[in-house]
Amino acid sequence: MKNIKLDHVTKIEGHAKLHVIIDKGKVKKADLQVFEGSRFFEGILKGKRYDDLSPISSRICGVCSVVHAITALESVEKAMGVKVSKQTRKLRQVMNIAGTLQSHTLHLYFMVLPDYFGFSNALKLAAENKELIVRALDLKRFGNRIVRAIGARDVHPFTFVVGGISRSPEQEELDSILQECKKLIPAGKKTMELFAKIKVPDFELKRNYYALTGGNYFCGGDKITCYSNEEISTQKYENHVSEYFQEGSTSEFVMDKKGNSYMVGAMARILIKGNLLSEESRKYQKIIEKNKFNPFYNNLAQAIEIFECLKQIEKILTNFKVKKELPIKFKEKAGNGIGAFEAPRGILFHRYTIDKNGFCTSANITTPTSQSLQNLQENIRNFLPKIVNQSEEKIKLMVEELIRAYDPCISCSTHFLELKLERK
Amino acid sequence: MQKKPSLGFFSFTGCSGCEFTVLFIDGILDILDKFNIEYFHLLKEKNREAQYDLAFVEGAITTKREIEKLKRIRKQSKFLVAMGACATHGGIPIQRNFIEKKELQKYVYNQKMLKDSIDVAPIDKFIKVDHYLYGCPIIKSEFIEFIEAYLKGKKKEQFKGPVCMECPRRGKDCFLNQGIECLGSITQGGCKALCTSQNVPCTMCRGPLESANFPVEIKLLESFGLSKKEILNKLRYFTDKVKSK
């Protein structure tokens, strides 16, 4: 019996562990265990005042703090019947797109690309390929710049409050951002070209995809559309999905009520609402459609979205005139509100119930990673038999590549990936 | 050529936002290039346990297992920096300590995990910390200044004084004069009053000053019409230093 202990899976956000047992060449067990000291966010949020819910839930994740902050606000505003201005809505959209740009750039260039170029990390890649890293840094800096211009800080932006924004961004800065955006569009194109050229393992597993529809591509709307053609109102998502905990893991796993897994994120969005994207990325979208059940193509899907982030930011900021606005006035009101946004990794739900004094009496947060985790686990189980005869090192690398293609964000669904491989 | 100092980034329970803030620094690759990076799981494979000249520790301590790992890192490190509110004060995760036991049971789905669980604590409850980088998340310029001083063999002084010292609203449109709960006057400064300069009151993410007088602060907030619950929620955002009377 061979017992291979593989240390915790790197270059993903957070910590997770995978325990694999291979008995006489057959995969007997492949369980994803995600665990860190739990933070019990839903317990922490209960009893807090309406204006504390966004700043606290932003801290669920340092990578997707932008989208947690605004989804929480949307949920609270729905619960208390607060209607924000058109400008606030647009600024939240731009900041969310910038958050996706930050996240995808970091993931693709710093965590995924070194694998495919045969470097163990981005620093080594940087030393060898200056052009690539300059492009990556330009894109990352640009995403950060937008989040800073609107949210005052590139991680845990804090200017959005219930009812609006604490201060409007500077017109001059937004104009300058638009100019930089135009200059960066070729970098977005090159990103698509690059990831379209990368050869990925040949692997397919039929699956369902979910994305938000009825609104802007990157932010979503009031409906969830499944690849299987079903449509669900976001306000009813809790009736449609079940959350469960797997033995040994502190993370939530989500499935639909029939027990089927699904995937959310870049690939889901392109397959479900690619029609909202530009003509220029059409030929790359077709590659995704052709390989619709191969999760390794999620990387290319993210690359397409980097380009599309730039296009959408350009579109929204063209002729955007900032009005100096204050958050609107409102009174605390009892209610239940569900906020849903497309986060970089897929649909994020926040649901809060607020009492008449403005305190939260119950909270439920469903993150994209917890939704895709079950599907990832099934894919690992189906992928392993294909590579079971490879060397241990190769198995580790390929499984990690598969995990990274899902871009799991473990803080979101909690923390830790250690890969333990046992061969009997 | 002089040997590069070895560097490790370690993460306990938190959101990784401070590590991301580091990665978001312009010119970060040039900064990291001055070190041998031995451990940074967010960025590289083949992280190995080694001797570290410099270690950054992010996250709060929430399990017995984490205490052991933290102590090991301390032994292996010549200079150790607590990075961000979770490491320096417990941060947002420390709010867990105030959830009632009965309530907490509802969220516990794994009894094994519960056995390993401890009250959330900042890292200096278990080990000696050589320098603190405050904030949720940390401030990039403070990180850079610290590194620059370190590479010159100097130790960066901690900022002394409250957030108010750098606040642009001071003496003009101070939140406190308007009856708005702002904790800047009892909060460890050095952030250039980032939040108050953007019309957002301070929430004490850098932790309380040693001289912070909580009973007086509580009276002040009561005079603004805040309930006891609201006041404790405010004061316990990032730290558990404030006990209920």
pLDDT tens digits, B210-226: 999 999 999 999 999 99
- Looking at the structure, do residues B38 and B98 belong to the same domain, yes or no? yes
Put simply, whether B64 touches A (Cβ < 8 Å) is no
Whether B170 and B57 map to the same domain: the answer is: no
Q: Which of B23, B45, B106 lies nearest to residue A106, judging by beta carbons?
A: B23
Q: According to the model, what pLDDT value does residue A6 have?
A: 39
CA quadruple A328, A332, A335, A341: dihedral sign? positive
Among B16, B46, B95, beta carbon nearest to A411: B16
Task: Give the whole-angstrom CA distance, residue B132 versus residue B135.
Answer: 10
Do B30 and B79 fall within a single domain? yes
**Residue A407 above 90 pLDDT?**
no
**B116, two tokens:** 């390993």
Cβ contacts of A248 on chain B, cutoff 8 Å: 110, 112
CB contact (8 A) between residue B62 and residue A161: no
Q: Are strands A208-213 and A223-226 parallel, antiparallel or unpaired?
A: antiparallel
The verdict on a CB contact (< 8 Å) between B199 and A415 is no
Of B14 and B56, the one with more pLDDT: B56
CATH number 1.10.645.10 is the correct assignment for the domain at A42-319+331-389: yes
Beta-strand ranges (E) seen in A257-359 are 262-263, 335-343, 346-354
Residue-averaged pLDDT of chain A: 87
8-state DSSP, B196: G
**Of B60, B63, B136, which is closest to A156 when you measure between CB atoms?**
B136
From A57's Cα to the closest Cα of chain B, the distance in A is: 9
- Measured between beta carbons, which residues in chain B are less than 8 angstroms from residue A137? 26, 29
Asked if residue B157 is part of any domain, the answer here is: no
Q: Tell me the count of A-B CB pairs closer than 8 A.
A: 162
Place of tokens 């309930």: B227
Residue B61 is predicted with a pLDDT of: 95
Which residue blocks in A40-85 are alpha helix, DSSP H? 41-45, 53-58, 65-80
- B171 and B147 within one domain: no
Lowest mean pLDDT among A412-416, B11-15, B26-30: A412-416
Q: How far apart are CA A307 and CA A288, in angstroms?
A: 15
CA distance A256 to chain B (A): 20
The residue of chain A nearest to residue B38, with distances taken between CA atoms, is A121
Domain shared by B145 and B195, yes or no: no
Find chain A residues with C-beta within 8 A of B93's C-beta. 37, 39
Residue type, A19: H
Nearest CA in chain B to A114: B44
Q: What is the pLDDT of residue B238?
A: 96
| pLDDT score at A12 | 52
- CA distances A393 to A5, A390, A419, Å, are 11, 8, 12
| pLDDT tops 50 at residue B27 | yes
CA separation for the pair A88, A96 (Å, rounded): 12
| Residue B158 covered by a domain | no
How many other β-carbons are positioned within 10 Å of the β-carbon of residue B90? 29
Identify the residue among B45, B109, B110 best suited for mutation to test binding to A, counting A beta carbons within 10 A and taking the highest. Answer: B45
Cross-chain residue pair A11–B42, CB shorter than 8 Å:
yes
Cα separation, A282 vs A288, in Å, equals 10
Contacts with A, B 82-141, CB within 8 Å:
91-93, 95-96, 99, 103-104, 106-107, 109-110, 112-113, 117, 120, 136-137
d(CA A268, CA A384): 23
Q: Which comes out higher in pLDDT, residue A34 or B155?
A: B155
Residue B210 tokens, joined:
């040693």
**B137/A155 Cβ within 8 A:** yes
Domain range for residue B174?
A: 163-235
- Contacts of residue A418, Cβ cutoff 8 Å, sequence gap at least 6: A6, A7, A8, A9, A15, A16, A17, A18
Q: Do B42 and A38 touch (CB under 8 A)?
A: no
CB A68 within 8 A of CB B15: no
Whether A63 sits inside 8 A of B18 (CB atoms) is no
Spatial CA neighbour of A410 closest among A363, A342, A362, A345: A345
Do B216 and B96 lie in one domain? The reply is no
Q: What's the pLDDT tens digit per position in A117-174?
A: 877 677 777 778 888 888 999 999 999 999 999 999 999 999 999 999 999 999 999 9
pLDDT of residue B48: 65
What's the pLDDT tens digit per position in A196-246? 999 999 999 999 999 999 999 998 889 999 999 899 999 998 888 887 766
Q: What is the pLDDT of residues A317-356, one digit of tens each?
A: 999 999 999 999 999 999 999 999 999 999 999 999 999 9
- Of all residues in chain B, the percent with pLDDT exceeding 70 is 89
The strand pairing partners of A311, in sequence order, are: none
Q: Give the closest-approach CA distance of A289 to chain B in angstroms.
A: 31
Task: Yes or no: say if B93 and B146 are a contact pair by the CB < 8 Å rule.
Answer: no
Q: What does the pLDDT read at residue A7? A: 39
Domain boundary among B118, B151, B184: B151
Q: Which two tokens stand for residue B160?
A: 């002394």
CA distance B32 to B8: 11
> Which of the four pLDDT bands, split at 50, 70 and 90, describes residue A367?
confident
Closest CA to A302 of A181, A194, A417, A421: A194
Count CB neighbours of A269 within 10 A: 28
Q: Are residues B58 and B110 in the same domain?
A: yes
Mean pLDDT throughout A21-33? 79
| A143 → chain B, closest CA residue | B24
Domain count, chain B: 2
Domain presence at residue B192: yes
- pLDDT computed for residue B44 by the predictor: 62
Cβ distance B233 to A47 less than 8 Å, yes or no, reads yes
Judge: A123–B109 Cβ closer than 8 Å, yes or no: no
Q: Nearest CB to A121: which of B19, B45, B136?
A: B45
User: Side by side, which strands form the sheet with B52-58?
Assistant: B36-39, B6-11, B52-58, B77-83, B131-133
Residue identified by tokens 């030393």 is: A127
For the segment A280-295, the average pLDDT, to the nearest whole number, is 97
CB B10 within 8 A of CB B39: yes
Q: Is residue B17 one of the residues assigned to a domain?
A: yes
Can you give the pTM of this predicted structure? 0.92
C-alpha distances in Å from residue B206, one per residue of B133, B146, B194? 9, 16, 12
Which two tokens mark B196?
Answer: 């108050």
For residue A84, the one-letter residue type is V
Percent of chain A with pLDDT over 90: 60
pLDDT tens readout for residues A105-116: 988 988 888 878
Residue A118 is predicted with a pLDDT of: 77
Assign A249 a pLDDT band (cuts: 50, 70, 90): low
B98 part of a folded domain: yes
Query: Could A48 and B91 be called an inter-chain contact, meaning their C-beta atoms sit closer than 8 Å?
Result: no
**Residues of A whose CB is below 8 A from B139:** none
Same domain, B139 and B198: no
In angstroms, the separation between the Cα of residue B103 and the nearest Cα of chain A is 8
Q: Are B152 and B170 in contact (CB under 8 A)?
A: no
Residue A355, phi-psi category: left (phi > 0), alpha (psi -120 to 50), beta (remainder): beta
B122 & B209 share domain: no
Q: Domain holding B70: CATH number? A: 3.40.50.700
In this structure, the answer to whether residues B58 and B126 fall within a common structural domain is: yes
Which pLDDT does position A37 carry in this prediction? 46
Residues of chain A positioned with their CB less than 8 A from the CB of B91: 59
User: CB of B47 within 8 Å of any CB in chain A?
Assistant: yes
Percent of chain B with pLDDT over 90: 71
Least confident of A226-240, B97-111, B191-205: B97-111
Looking at the complex, report in whole angstroms how far the Cα of residue A286 sits from the nearest Cα belonging to chain B: 31
How many angstroms separate the CA atoms of A224 and B132, rounded? 45
Domain ranges of chain A: 42-319+331-389
Q: How far apart are CA A231 and CA A318, in angstroms?
A: 33
Lowest mean pLDDT among A372-386, B21-35, B44-58, B220-234: B44-58
Closest alpha carbon within chain B to A109: B43
Consecutive H or E run containing B120: strand B117-121
Residue B1 counted as domain residue: no
Looking at B151, B183, B204, the residue that finishes a domain is B151
Across the interface, whether the CB atoms of B20 and A415 are under 8 A apart is answered no
Domain membership flag for residue B36: yes
Contacts of A166 in chain B (CB under 8 A): 198-200
Question: Confidence band (pLDDT; 50, 70, 90) for A39?
Answer: low
What residues pair up with A360 in beta bridges, in sequence order? A354
A76 near A330, Cβ under 8 Å?
no
Which of B122, B151, B180 is a domain's end point? Answer: B151
- Same domain for B171 and B145? no
Mutate to test the interface with A, among B16, B227, B233 (most CBs of A within 10 A): B16
Q: How confident is the model at residue A4 (pLDDT cuts 50, 70, 90)?
A: very low
Would the pLDDT of B108 be above 60? no
Task: Return the pLDDT at B84.
Answer: 98
Residue B242 domain flag: no
Does residue A131 contact residue A138 with C-beta atoms inside 8 Å? no
Distance CA A210, CA A225 (A): 6
